């Protein structure tokens, strides 16, 4: 517990003092891309079941509220959607379009089962794909990356890629477990975007997430 408190102290200090993050970053703290079978394995053993619990989803709810302010009834692309947890938080916005993409077949299968009653081809869909470079002819008002940024490779290349899939004035949204590594990724993203909002959401049990929205320059 003392160690966790120390880490949280460092993480909060590092939000506006990058040198703190860089000084205390652990070896191996960096982006962690992995093949689909690794993610399938996590879903198969239930490692992500808890992500669907209410006290794990405050970051989704805040991001959904920011999305709603940016654009009512938006066209949304959800990268790294897993079982569709973020969809639960934007359902009430009645998005004109929702497309969830995940590298894991099993994650997508579960999303389709869980939300079977809400799937509508061309309106609400879940597909398997690589979120590091997902290609489509569609354009979106909002593209979100809930808790998956660190698995998608170089952040600047990611922004350049998804800027092309945004409608004019479109918004990118991120949530990320609060950590020195994710703070570094966020700083990298700030170099090519204009920040609209950024916040830290804490749960009483000790979890904390960064939530932010921005526009590519
Ligand atoms: C921590 S889970 C987050 C799931 C969901 N977004 C949420 O907020 O509950 C990370 C997700 O990223 C997905 N993922 C990892 N690498 C990916 C990639 N290259 N493209 C698309 N999804 C990826 C994993 O399969 C997993 O579903």
Q: How do residues 23-32 score in pLDDT, each as one tens digit?
A: 888 766 666 8
| pLDDT score at 5 | 82
Parent domain of 74: 2-216
**Cα-to-centroid distance, 108 and ligand 1 (Å):** 10
Who has greater pLDDT, 149 or 207? 149
- Residue whose CA is at the smallest distance from ligand 1 atom 26: 82
Residue 170 half-sphere exposure, CB side, CA atoms within 13 Å?
20
* CATH label of the domain that carries residue 170: 3.40.50.150
- Residue whose CA is at the smallest distance from ligand 1 atom 27: 82
Tokens, residue 26: 């652990």
**Test site for ligand 1: of 39, 154, 162, most ligand atoms within 8 A of the Cβ:** 39
With beta carbons less than 8 A apart as the criterion, state whether 181 and 175 touch: no
With beta carbons less than 8 A apart as the criterion, state whether 125 and 98 touch: yes
With beta carbons less than 8 A apart as the criterion, state whether 93 and 70 touch: no
Q: Would the pTM of this model clear 0.85, i.e. be above it?
A: yes
- Residues 92-100: contacts with CB within 8 Å, 24+ apart? 92/64, 93/64, 93/67, 93/68, 95/124, 96/123, 97/122, 97/123, 97/124, 97/138, 97/140, 98/123, 98/124, 98/125, 99/125, 99/126, 99/127, 99/136, 99/138, 99/140, 100/125, 100/126, 100/127
- Residue whose CA is at the smallest distance from ligand 1 atom 4: 82
Give the DSSP letter of residue 191. Answer: T
| pLDDT score at 94 | 95
Ligand 1 near 76 CB (within 6 A): no
> Range with the lowest mean pLDDT among 15-24, 146-155, 182-191?
15-24
The pairing of strands 97-102 and 124-128 is: parallel
Mean pLDDT of 181-190: 92
pLDDT digits (tens, 9 = 90+) for 48-87: 999 999 999 999 999 999 999 999 999 999 999 999 999 9
**Test site for ligand 1: of 51, 151, 178, 209, most ligand atoms within 8 A of the Cβ:** 151
Domain count of the chain? 1
Ligand 1 near 130 CB (within 6 A): yes
């Amino acid at each position: 517990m003392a160690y966790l408190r120390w880490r949280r102290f460092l993480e909060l200090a590092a939000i506006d003092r990058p040198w703190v993050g860089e000084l205390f970053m652990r070896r191996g703290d960096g982006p962690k891309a992995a093949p689909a079978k690794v993610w399938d394995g996590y879903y198969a053993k239930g490692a992500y079941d808890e992500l669907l619990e209410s006290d794990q989803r405050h970051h989704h709810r805040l991001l959904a509220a920011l999305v709603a302010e940016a654009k009512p009834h938006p066209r949304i692309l959800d990268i790294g959607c897993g079982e569709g947890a973020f969809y639960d938080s934007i359902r009430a916005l009645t998005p004109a379009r929702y497309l969830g993409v995940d590298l894991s077949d099993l994650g997508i299968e579960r999303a389709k089962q869980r939300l079977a009653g809400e799937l509508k081809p061309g309106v609400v869909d879940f597909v398997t794909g690589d979120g590091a470079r997902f290609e489509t002819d569609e354009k979106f008002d909002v593209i979100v990356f809930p808790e998956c940024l660190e698995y998608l490779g170089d952040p600047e290349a990611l922004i350049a890629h998804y800027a092309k899939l945004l409608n004019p004035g479109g918004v990118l949204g991120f949530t990320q477990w609060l950590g020195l590594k994710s703070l570094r990724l966020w700083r990298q993203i700030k170099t090519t975007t204009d920040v609209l909002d950024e916040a830290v959401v804490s749960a009483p049990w000790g979890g904390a997430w960064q939530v932010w929205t921005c526009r590519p320059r």
